[in-house]
């Protein structure tokens, strides 16, 4: 048994703890850096395994780890041996198994592409249906060749497979670029070049400036003597600002290959998890003849794969997570597939047409057996049955007949529509990317489409959820003013004199000189800004008079440091843990930086602890007023609060600054607690937060700052346009209420006439009765907005605008009260009442929102009755959750980085580009795809109805009306390209008109063109034209001799005339619908008709004489020799299209009489009349 006794060491100056391992002949004392009070007085037993008890440094450290503060039950960690050097030479080193460093973002491999892709494609109901029909044609004796359904299916499957295969090949290529890139690994004190995919966990990797990190590394040493390096994580979270990372304190000196190779250490850290901003671990460093030393590791020590090293010559790091276990790879997985509402409409229409198909087959099968009940019809003298036919079961015969009719009519289901829709979406997305008006000169980028499946959804948006900072505003901060002890300071004139000249402080006069200096020192010291030589940093704007540039992950911090510089206190940088500042007298002051209590969105503040040259210990803290005011002396608040509130009303971002002086004893306690929390592997964040909470208490308020974040250009006009288009705009921000409110007024979300309803802590209160008060307010607002308002009768769609406009303001804490009420309260219906209020308001502002709450709000609206289409727009990592939650996610390529734009469906450079994206592109893509879907069903009904009617005249014998070649080619060649060109190029209203008149957007809202009324209109139109085609030709054939020589035309001629009228009518129908003619439209429409004529001559053996043997030989050519055939074709095309032309003319007359301009058709009319406005310069009408 091994006994471990634990106790406090009074002799150690560090006030650390020790524990002694006493074994047979192996005494050893291990010194532990962090304190360990919970273990005091405990005795641990170790049972020998197979009679052997190995006791060495590693065992000791493992025992210590197991007993470390509160971690008895710790699981889910990994141990990494640095450089694969075992800790003890006596022990055999067994390498742990970790995944390799290959990145795999592709979906298929060469071997599984075919089966996997086919499986995915046949999960689509239309593809599966056609496969069944094809198999029926192969197995059962059916009237048409299996080629007629097999070839279109093969075409659709092949085109889709090629598209998906190409996309996957691009992913493979990108993966190989990363996996085969060269990296340098330190082995035996030498650099060895390897491919990135061969990196193993534990390898020491060298990375040079401007290279990306090949895997997740723990930062050990760098070329900088202070052990820091600068990193940009733009490809991870989009943040283009420089971040500073720190090497482990004990390894900073190991900055050569030889030195780093001498390191013996193990790293214990958590198992891989996707959060980019969290990492918990510790490193244990072993030195010969010295006690092992343990140090804590956090996110500041972890260099992430995909990030880029900047302004540092080289760094050394040890690989802890590789390949698909890196944080970058874990973040790329699990993005849910979004589907558009149009697909749901297609499926509904498909079911209707499936029912039509089944009913046609059932009717024909039934009538066949009714007709055959007459023996003469069943078995005429010229066609006696065989013995096999007589012996077949009648039920089986009926079933095969039913299947034969199904096969004959199966073309009513448009299988090629799916591939046309996919091509339309895929090719259409390029038009958005190519839009020059959405190109931003500043960042040299245009719009980006990440998901082409949602183009038409952009035309159906009802709710827009937008972030504020960086989305509505520039995220470009400028220091405006500050107040110290209630005295306002603004726009100094002389930098040397500092604050001595101001533009008229308020009535209080000036603060004491010492307080002014304390405030400015706080601004100079309380931040994480770094300094770099200006000439080394690309794209960062330095001060023309200085030789350096400020670098920070937050634009606010740079604004505050520049603000202090404007008033005579300049931050000169951090060197060897000492912060240097130059004061107003041009003297350099040094402050030792002891601890940084980092900013986080929950605390909403950050602090530093520094020691002055005289030994005085100071804590400076800056943060939001809501997080600073409760932690300072209450009597100091009021004088500063006045300024903070006024600045917030002016739309400025405000921060409060506080400080406190620490005694040595207080500091020692804080230092011990911080180190203890940093060493924890489990619940490190909670423990750190507890220490921060205790440390940042009983402070003294010095003053507050005001920083301006300007509105983006045209953001107000964009919001106004979205409002006019019938969209409700909600602003979801983490900012304080007053700042957000003034921004909302500035960008015209709230009008001066808007009555604001508040549900905030200020109104609800924070006492025990807050739930009762909230209930009262909800009931009051509900009565005002819903119960007291007369019901809207008819009128405009989306007529949510009441005679009085209402706006709602809610904050995060009240929202959590509504969404997560306490168990004992009768508040389960809070959410429903709140939602009803929200839906009646024209604009909603949610402030003090956590990222998760933003997503909750979007989900809540998304799941309401009617499932309104939601759109989220944001620019930072904190907006990703709401971007992924909404139906359509838009990322702004802003200063907060690219994580939002990477996770979005569409990315645009500025908020103003949303106007064109929705009002023009969205509107047009919806109209185009709606027309495409309706047209496909219409032309297939026109195609198959004559085939159905023909059965009544051929004894229901399943005789095809059309030749097999025509059946096969109809959807693939003769009618596919014109509708594809239309769906990509059509502009039924000029783009400028759509952008300048947002009300037009409302005319196609609520899926107006894919409702049952327009669907039934198209269906009746198809049925009418099908009847005209068949019976028109039928009456022509009443005189069976159509030639001068008395020769009789046959059934194939009959079918060919019907087919010719059909092809010309449906193509000319599309020409009639086209309002925006380009050379491409002319080419595909007239080209398709010419190709049909050419193919008919070719197939009839006129052009290709070797086709003499088949039934269509010279049929088409013969048909055209008859004058009556020509007249019939022209007349039937005109009769078919006559109702369309008549409706267009009537519509124009009606519009002129009502003098209504710029109006789209109602949901019950065809898209063909869509642009018959008479008073618009940008539109055309048939009558013109």
Query: Contact, 583 vs 569, CB < 8 A?
Result: yes
Closest CA to 34 of 64, 4, 10, 73: 64
The whole-angstrom separation of Cα 88 and Cα 59 is 10
Looking at the DSSP bridge assignments, the partners of residue 233 are: 239
Helix residue spans in 654-736 (DSSP H): 664-679, 684-695, 715-724
Single out the catalytic residue among 34, 216, 453, 467: 467
Instruction: Count CB neighbours of 534 within 10 A.
Output: 16
Structure tokens at 1002: 């409302």
Q: Which distant-in-sequence residues (6+ apart) come within 8 Å of 831 by Cβ?
A: 818, 819, 860
568 DSSP assignment: T
1158: nearest Cα among 1175, 1181, 1180, 1143? 1175
The structure tokens listed for 732 are 């979801």
Reading the block at residue 199, the tokens are: 């990196």
The single residue listed with the structure tokens 């044609």 is 137
Instruction: Please calculate the CA angle 178-184-189 and round it to the nearest 5 degrees.
Output: 160
CB count in 10 Å sphere of residue 503 = 11
List, in sequence order, every residue forming a beta bridge with 487; answer none if it has no partner: 484
- d(CA 794, CA 772) in angstroms, rounded, equals 38
| Lateral strand order in the sheet of 293-297 | 77-81, 264-270, 281-286, 293-297
Most distant CA pair in the chain: distance in Å?
Answer: 128
**Residue 914 neighbours by CB under 8 Å, 6+ apart:** 464, 718, 722, 873, 890, 908
Strand ranges in 325-407 using DSSP code E only, listed in sequence order: none
Question: Around Cβ 1134, how many Cβ atoms within 10 Å?
Answer: 12
Contact 245, 354 (CB under 8 A): no
Both tokens of 317, joined, read 């790091």
Q: Say how many C-beta atoms besides its own lie within 10 A of residue 1020's C-beta.
A: 13
Q: Mapped to the 3 state alphabet, what secondary structure does 257-285 carry?
A: HHHHCCCEEEEEEECCCCCCCCCCEEEEE
Active site residue 625: no
Q: Helix 125-139 to helix 416-433 angle, to the nearest 10 degrees? A: 150
Alpha carbon 171 to chain centroid distance? 19
612 vs 272: CA distance, rounded Å:
41
For 350, 535, 1024, 1144, 1178, the CA distances from 1075, given in Å and listed in that order, are: 28, 56, 24, 13, 11
Which residues have a Cβ under 8 Å from the Cβ of 165 and sit 6 or more positions away?
108, 113, 117
Cβ atoms 106, 113 nearer than 8 A: no
3-state SS class at 624: coil
- Pairing mode, if any, of strands 728-732 and 463-466? parallel
Strands (E), 527-600: 530-533, 548-551, 570-575, 578-582, 588-597
> How far apart, in whole angstroms, are the C-alpha atoms of residue 671 and residue 667?
6
CB 70 within 8 A of CB 683: yes
Paired tokens of 729: 């705009």
Distances (CA, A) of 1027 to 107, 936, 942, 956, 1132: 48, 18, 8, 18, 11
β strands within 515-569, DSSP E:
530-533, 548-551
User: Which are the catalytic amino acids?
Assistant: 467
């Amino acid at each position: 048994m091994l006994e471990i006794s634990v106790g406090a060491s009074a002799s150690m100056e560090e006030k650390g703890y020790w524990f002694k391992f006493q074994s047979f002949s192996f005494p050893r004392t291990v010194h532990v850096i962090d304190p360990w009070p919970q273990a005091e007085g405990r005795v641990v037993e170790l049972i020998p395994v197979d009679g052997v008890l190995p006791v060495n440094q590693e065992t000791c450290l493992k025992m210590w780890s197991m007993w470390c503060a509160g971690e008895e039950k710790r699981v889910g960690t990994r141990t990494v041996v640095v450089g694969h050097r075992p800790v003890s030479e006596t022990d055999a080193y067994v390498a742990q198994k970790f995944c390799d460093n290959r990145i795999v973002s592709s979906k298929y491999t060469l071997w599984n592409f075919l089966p996997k892709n086919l499986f995915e494609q046949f999960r689509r109901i239309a593809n599966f249906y056609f496969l069944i029909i094809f198999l029926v044609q192969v197995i059962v004796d059916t009237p048409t060749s299996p080629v007629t359904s097999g070839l279109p299916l093969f075409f659709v499957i092949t085109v889709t497979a090629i598209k998906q295969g190409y996309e996957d090949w691009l992913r493979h290529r990108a993966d190989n670029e990363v996996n085969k890139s060269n990296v340098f690994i330190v082995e035996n004190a030498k650099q060895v070049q390897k491919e990135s995919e061969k990196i193993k966990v534990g390898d020491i990797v060298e990375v040079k400036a401007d290279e990306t990190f090949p895997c997740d590394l723990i930062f050990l040493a760098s070329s900088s003597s202070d052990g820091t390096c600068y990193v940009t994580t733009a490809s991870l979270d989009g943040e283009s600002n420089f971040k500073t990372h720190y090497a482990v304190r004990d390894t900073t000196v190991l900055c050569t290959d030889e030195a780093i190779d001498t390191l013996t250490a193990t790293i214990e850290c958590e198992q891989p998890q996707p959060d980019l901003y969290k990492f918990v671990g510790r490193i244990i460093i072993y030195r010969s003849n010295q006690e092992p030393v343990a140090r804590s590791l956090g996110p500041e020590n972890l260099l992430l794969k995909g990030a880029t090293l900047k302004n540092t010559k080289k760094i050394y790091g040890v690989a802890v997570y590789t390949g698909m276990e890196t944080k970058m790879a874990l973040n790329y997985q699990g993005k849910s597939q979004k589907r558009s509402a149009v697909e749901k409409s297609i499926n509904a229409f498909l079911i209707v047409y499936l029912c039509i198909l089944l009913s046609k087959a059932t009717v024909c099968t039934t009538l066949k057996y009714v007709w055959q009940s007459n023996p003469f019809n069943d078995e005429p003298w010229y066609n006696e049955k065989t013995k096999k036919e007589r012996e077949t079961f009648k039920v089986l015969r009926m079933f095969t007949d039913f299947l034969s009719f199904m096969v004959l009519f199966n073309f009513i289901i448009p299988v090629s529509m799916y591939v046309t829709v996919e091509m339309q979406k895929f090719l259409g997305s390029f038009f958005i990317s190519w839009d020059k008006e959405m190109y931003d000169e500043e960042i040299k980028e245009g719009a980006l489409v990440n998901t082409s499946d949602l183009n038409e959804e952009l035309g159906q948006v009802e709710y827009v959820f937008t972030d504020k900072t960086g989305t509505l505003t520039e995220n470009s901060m400028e220091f405006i003013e500050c107040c110290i002890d209630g005295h306002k300071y603004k726009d100094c004139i002389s930098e040397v004199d500092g604050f001595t000249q101001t533009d008229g402080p308020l009535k209080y006069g000036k603060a004491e000189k010492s307080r002014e200096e304390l405030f400015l020192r706080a601004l100079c010291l309380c931040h994480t800004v770094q300094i770099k030589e200006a000439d080394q940093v690309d794209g960062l704007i330095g001060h023309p008079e200085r030789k350096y540039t400020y670098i920070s992950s937050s634009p606010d911090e740079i604004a505050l440091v520049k603000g202090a510089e404007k008033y005579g206190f300049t931050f000169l940088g951090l060197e060897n843990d000492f912060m240097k500042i130059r004061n107003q007298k041009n003297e350099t002051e040094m402050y030792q930086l002891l601890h940084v209590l980092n900013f986080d969105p929950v605390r909403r503040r950050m602090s530093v602890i520094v020691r002055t040259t005289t030994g005085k210990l100071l804590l400076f803290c800056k943060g939001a007023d809501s997080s600073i005011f409760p932690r300072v002396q209450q009597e100091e608040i009021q004088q500063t609060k006045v300024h903070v509130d006024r600045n917030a009303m002016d739309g400025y971002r405000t921060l409060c600054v506080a400080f406190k002086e620490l005694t040595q004893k207080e500091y020692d306690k804080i230092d011990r607690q911080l180190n203890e929390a940093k060493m924890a592997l489990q619940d490190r964040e909670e423990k750190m937060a507890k220490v921060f909470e205790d440390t940042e208490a009983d402070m003294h308020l010095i003053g507050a700052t005001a920083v301006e974040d300007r509105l983006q250009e045209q953001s107000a006009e964009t919001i106004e346009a979205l409002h006019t288009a019938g969209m409700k705009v909600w602003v979801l921000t983490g900012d304080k209420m007053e700042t957000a409110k003034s921004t909302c007024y500035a960008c015209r979300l709230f009008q001066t006439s808007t009555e604001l309803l508040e549900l905030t802590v200020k109104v609800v209160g924070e006492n025990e009765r807050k739930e009762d008060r909230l209930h009262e307010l909800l009931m009051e607002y509900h009565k005002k907005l819903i119960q007291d308002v007369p019901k809207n009768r008819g009128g405009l769609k989306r007529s949510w605008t009441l005679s009085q406009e209402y706006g709602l303001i809610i904050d995060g804490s009240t929202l959590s009260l509504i969404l997560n009420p306490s168990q004992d309260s009768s508040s389960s219906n809070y959410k429903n009442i709140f939602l009803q209020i929200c839906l009646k308001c024209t604009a909603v502002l949610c402030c003090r929102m956590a990222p998760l709450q933003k997503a909750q709000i979007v989900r809540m609206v998304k799941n309401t009755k009617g499932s309104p289409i939601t759109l989220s727009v944001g620019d930072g990592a904190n907006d990703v959750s709401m971007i992924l939650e909404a139906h359509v996610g838009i990322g702004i390529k802003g200063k907060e980085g690219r994580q939002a734009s990477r996770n979005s469906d569409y990315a645009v450079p500025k908020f103003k580009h949303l106007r064109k994206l929705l009002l023009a592109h969205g509107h047009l893509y919806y109209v185009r795809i709606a027309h495409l879907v309706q047209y496909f069903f219409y032309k297939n009904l026109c195609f198959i109805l004559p085939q159905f009617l023909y059965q009544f005249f051929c004894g229901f014998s399943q005789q095809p009306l059309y030749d097999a070649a025509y059946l096969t080619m109809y959807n693939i060649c003769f009618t596919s390209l014109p509708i594809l060109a239309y769906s990509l190029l059509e502009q039924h209203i000029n783009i400028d008109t759509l952008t300048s008149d947002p009300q037009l957007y409302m005319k196609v809202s609520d899926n107006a063109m894919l409702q049952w009324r327009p669907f039934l209109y198209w269906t009746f139109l198809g049925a009418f034209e099908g009847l005209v085609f068949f019976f028109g030709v039928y009456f022509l054939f009443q005189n069976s001799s159509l030639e001068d020589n008395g020769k009789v035309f046959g059934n194939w001629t009959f079918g060919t005339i019907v087919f010719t009228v059909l092809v010309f009518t449906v193509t000319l129908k599309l020409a009639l619908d086209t309002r925006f003619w380009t050379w491409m439209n002319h080419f595909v429409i007239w080209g398709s008709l010419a190709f049909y004529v050419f193919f008919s001559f070719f197939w009839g053996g006129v052009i290709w004489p070797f086709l003499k043997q088949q039934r269509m030989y010279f049929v088409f050519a013969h048909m055209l020799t008859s004058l009556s055939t020509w007249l019939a074709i022209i007349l039937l095309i005109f009769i078919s299209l006559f109702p369309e032309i008549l409706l267009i003319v009537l519509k124009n007359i009606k519009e002129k009489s009502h003098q209504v301009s710029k109006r789209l058709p109602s949901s019950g009319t065809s898209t063909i009349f869509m642009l018959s406005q008479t008073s618009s310069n940008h539109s055309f009408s048939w009558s013109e």
